[in-house]
Amino acid sequence: MKIALVGYKKQDKFAQGVTNDEDADLLHFLTEKGLDVVPAIWNDEKVDWSRFHVAIIKSPWDYHNHLNEFLNWLYRLEKLNIKVLNPAEIIQWNSDKKYLRDIAKNGLPVIESEYLDQGSSFDDRYFGMFDTDQLVVKPCVSAGAQNTLTVNKNNLKERTEEIDQLLKSEDYIIQPFVEEIKNGEWSFLFFNGQYSHCSLKKPKKDDFRVQHYHGGTISYPVPDPVHIEQARSYLKSLPQPTLYARVDGVLVNNSFKLMELELIEPYLFLNGDENLLENYYQALMALIS
């Protein structure tokens, strides 16, 4: 069984602040386990995908800049009878942040959200709608805080002009700024639905972006089991099992609230830890055996 570990054409901006090569660690571990795994770039025209039986969508970190091409490629793989992990149907659903609306309809706690369609315009009514002094506005299809803006009443005029310009090309999501992000964003990692580990990402001073390439820091506290089960609840409504899922959110009044459900290309914080790599391997084998 030949397996592709799918990545992207490397860009330094995504790797900034990463001290270990997670893909290389995972590739080495799976190979040592006896699996026939090779790295492959999703949009490399030289790759003959028909020779693979399984494609693990690991780190196509530029997918959001080429979404239609990326989704079409995923469905081509499935037509070749290649097992895609995570499945293309789930990836397509997860690629647009409107999926948060579906999760909220299932009665699960999600950061409040409104949506602006491409070609529409932004105004100040969202401050009252969310009862907040600060908003976060970001594309519905994005990753790594790309084109993510904060809006308050002091910068409203300039931000409105900027957002209206951005709305000419794509849809946007509006959320209240969640003060609890200053305490950190929790990431709970699940492999084939089983809890593996978690991380806590904190933004640098006077910032809200927790990504390492924006100066965020990462720690690995022991979470409250109640919060693990709260995070797991977001996976129960998925139509198919997923090899990996990262459930990102904040603690509000000591209860977990979802910010993002990452099912496409999340960094997994494996950190070369053999126990965590083993968790991933066992999940993979359960899905492809």
Are residue 104 and residue 224 in the same domain, yes or no?
yes
What average pLDDT does range 234-259 have in this prediction? 96
CATH code at position 170: 3.30.1490
Taking only Cα atoms into account, the Rg of the chain, rounded to an integer number of angstroms, comes to 19
- The total number of structural domains in the chain stands at 3
Mean pLDDT in residue range 175-188: 93
Q: What are the structure tokens assigned to 71, written together?
A: 């989704």
CATH label of the domain that carries residue 237: 3.30.470.20
Q: Are residues 197 and 104 in the same domain?
A: yes
Q: What is the pLDDT of residue 251?
A: 96
pLDDT one-digit tens code per residue, 204-228: 776 666 566 666 789 999 999 999 9
**Residue 217 host element (H or E):** strand 217-219
Tell whether 10 and 89 lie within a shared domain: yes
In this prediction, residue 237 has a pLDDT band, given cuts at 50, 70 and 90, of confident
Asked if the model's pLDDT at residue 193 lies above 90, the reply is: yes
Q: Name the pTM for this structure.
A: 0.92
Same domain membership, residue 262 and residue 184? yes
- Domain end: 131, 154, 177, which one? 177
Q: Are residues 140 and 84 in the same domain?
A: no
Region 90-103: mean pLDDT is 97
Q: Give me the domain span that covers residue 199.
A: 99-109+180-267
Q: Are residues 170 and 236 in the same domain?
A: no
> Does residue 76 lie in a domain region?
yes
What is the rounded distance in angstroms from the CA atom of residue 136 to the CA atom of residue 124? Answer: 12
Q: What is the pLDDT of residue 143?
A: 78
pLDDT 10s digits, 43-62: 999 999 999 999 999 999 99
Q: How far apart are CA 137 and CA 176, in angstroms?
A: 9
Question: In CATH, what number is assigned to the domain containing residue 67?
Answer: 3.40.50.20
* Predicted pLDDT at 209: 60
Residue 112 pLDDT exceeds 70: yes
- 40-58 burial string, b = 16+ CB within 10 Å, else e? bbbeeeeeebeebebbbbb
Average pLDDT value for the chain: 93
**Residue 100 confidence (pLDDT):** 97
pLDDT of residue 279: 98
- The pairing of strands 244-252 and 185-191 is antiparallel
Within-domain flag for 155: yes
Structural domain contains residue 281: no
Same domain, yes or no, for 184 and 163? no
